[in-house]
Chain A
């Protein structure tokens, strides 16, 4: 079992729909990261959070430390949101670097 599990693996939705991507982890973490990867391969950091909720434009990220669960929401989705969304965690006291989920491949159709 991976330390970081994401669901769904693939998601196709219509423009304007509310999108939710889930992430569960099984280790103690110092922070959880939501990343966006476009087809060219480059990765952009969307959020880094250790508690509560963060909002940036149409994106909202929440984390529940007790339940070891985080969600990424996209409101009023748009075709340009199509990308792979990756959940990753920084371990407490463990090896350096991030541990990644497999990613959620999101397609928003016009």
Chain B
């Protein structure tokens, strides 16, 4: 069973702050993903990575950035948070075609 961890689980922050959402997995998966889910809406892919030093933008345009310096770690950063960034952010990793999801970070920007 894959273990994927996300911190924080909940974050309420003011406009203009820089934030980093953490995602780690312990299974050595190369492929990792970030999805964004607005309330009541479907998930959309915003970033993915095929491995260390690989990052790609997903289908949904996002002002966030990601990095992949270590296999197990795939953090997402917002340089200046805005209310429009209020959403849930889910991290996932893949073994073959099967995806494993983290518990998500629910972000509220005031």
Contacts and interface: CB of A to CB of B under 8 A. Distances in A.
Bound pair (A, B):
yes
Contact of A96 (B43, B56, B100, B104): B56
Contacts of B104: 40-43
Nearest to A32: B97
A97 interface: yes
A101 B31 CA distance: 22
Given A41-B88, A96-B48, A102 B41 contact: yes
Interface residues of B, number: 25
The interface residues of chain A, by DSSP majority, are classed as strand
Given A41-B106, A95-B58, A95-B59, A100 B43 contact: yes
The interface residues of chain B, by DSSP majority, are classed as strand
B95 to A, nearest CB: 11
B97 A31 contact: yes
Interface residues of A, number: 24
Interface string A93-108: 0011111111100000
A64 interface: no
8 contacts: A41-B37, A41-B106, A44-B101, A45-B100, A95-B58, A96-B50, A97-B35, A99-B45
Interface of A: 2, 30-31, 33, 35, 40-45, 48, 86, 88, 90, 95-103
